[in-house]
Amino acid sequence: MSTELKLKIDSLTYGPYGIGRDNRRVILVPLTVPGDEAGVRIVAEKRNYAIGELSHLLKPSPLRQAPPCPYFERCGGCPWQQIEYEGQLAAKEKIVVDALHRIGRLDGFQILPILRSPQEYGYRRRIRLQSDGRKRLGFYRALSHELIEIDSCLIADPQVDRHLSVAREWIKGLRTKLRFVEIIMSDGEQQTVLVGRSEERFFQEDDALCAPFVSGQKEIKGVIISGPGWHRSWGRTKIHIQSQDDLIMEVDGNIFTQVNREGNNLLVGEILQWGEFDHQDRVLELYSGTGNLSLPAARRAGEIVAVDGNPQSIRNGKENGRLNRIENIRWLCSDVPKAVRRLVTDQEQFSKIILNPPRSGAKGLEHELASLNADKILYVSCNPPTLARDLSALSKKGYRLTRVRPIDLFPHTFHVEVLSEMVR
């Protein structure tokens, strides 16, 4: 039987844990809040730390709140819901600064106050629900693959949330086994798309189910299912995205888009302000996706070169350029490192670079990026550790980190978007 410790929680990890210390040993405890004094049992010993579980609260933190979600203690989707929102924002700022100092060995930069999400709940215009062999829908328990079935989600937009039961009924009739289902809504109109992903083969009998399903729905306009080497769709499968400058984008439902519409507008606004783009700028955006940043920047810059490795994203970007009468974007469908090397070989030069990589970051690109001679790099990241690593590498190539702005696109989770500016 493990010994119970009395532990004071000092801070939060980039993850679902609070951090306490016992005789200089770090102990990570889920469901805790900075300022909690708690009884904690050790459940796992690691080389440099231990993992505990909360036994009981001795003195709750002033930042602690009652989570409104009935699934909170089981579902791993919102591990910070027990923390008042102001406390979440402060913790995210600290996580970003700590990563830049500790991992990146960076200093001398300005950390700007985090931009809060305009909505704490109901902000997600798309949610991904896991499915299992029993055709249940829900989220995984924290740090496991145990599915917690849900009937409602408080962080989902109400239009998305009310279609959860419809999605559940849809998959019950399918023979094709799905690994997950996404519910995605359009901005500004009552239109929703369901997207399913399978790791197995498609059963042709499901054609006869999906077509009438879509035609019989009022708001669900399209359905997409894909798997290894196959793709099926029924109905209208594009969604509308409203962005800065009254831009309207039509995007395939199965392509990545930011989940927080109002938060995304904050991000785009910061990019435009920091970029100070004008007609003399030649801008490179790497990992451009469907043009969330490229399209508004192109209205100000002289030329944009947008690079992404997903052909569907590039195709959507081109279509949205035509839709919005934006003609100064050159879209390149290519593996990003290969494209950057080719741009260097062709001796292309850019005044500014927008870098918006996936969570894994842009490791190894620093030398080629420096060779493109941009005066400014704007780096957008959803992963503070890989951001710090990459900014550190760029700092060794003559760039200096000047300012950083965290933006909260994901309330009640530990995730945070970060915009950083490097100049030389």
Enumerate the active-site residues: 382
* Residue pointed to by tokens 């790497």: 286
Instruction: Report the candidate in 224, 215, 220 with the shortest Cα–Cα distance to residue 180.
Output: 224
Distance separating alpha carbons of residues 383 and 418, to the nearest angstrom: 8
Distance separating alpha carbons of residues 230 and 87, to the nearest angstrom: 45
The one-letter amino acid at 29: V
Q: Which two tokens stand for residue 63?
A: 């930042």
Contact 205, 185 (CB under 8 A): no
HEC per residue, 251-273: EECCCCCCCEHHHHHHHHHHHHH
Instruction: Report the candidate in 349, 406, 409, 347 with the shortest Cα–Cα distance to residue 379.
Output: 406
What is the longest distance spanned by two Cα atoms in the chain? 69
Cα distances (Å, whole numbers) of residue 150 to 66, 120, 137, 140, 265? 19, 20, 7, 10, 30
Distance separating alpha carbons of residues 420 and 424, to the nearest angstrom: 14
C-beta neighbour count of 372 within 10 angstroms: 18
Which strand ranges, in their side-by-side order, compose the sheet holding 126-131? 147-149, 137-140, 126-131, 180-185, 192-197, 220-227, 230-235
Instruction: Write out the DSSP string of 19-69.
Output: EEEETTEEEEEET--TT-EEEEEEEEE-SSEEEEEEEEEEE--TTB-----
β-pair type (248-252, 238-242): antiparallel
Contact 41, 53 (CB under 8 A): yes
384-395 and 85-102 helices, crossing angle to 10°: 40
β-pair type (37-45, 4-12): antiparallel
Listed in order, strand segments (DSSP E) in 309-361 are: 329-333, 352-355
Residue 379 CB partners (closer than 8 Å, separation 6+)? 355, 356, 362, 387, 390, 391, 419, 420, 421, 422
DSSP 8-class letter at 421: E
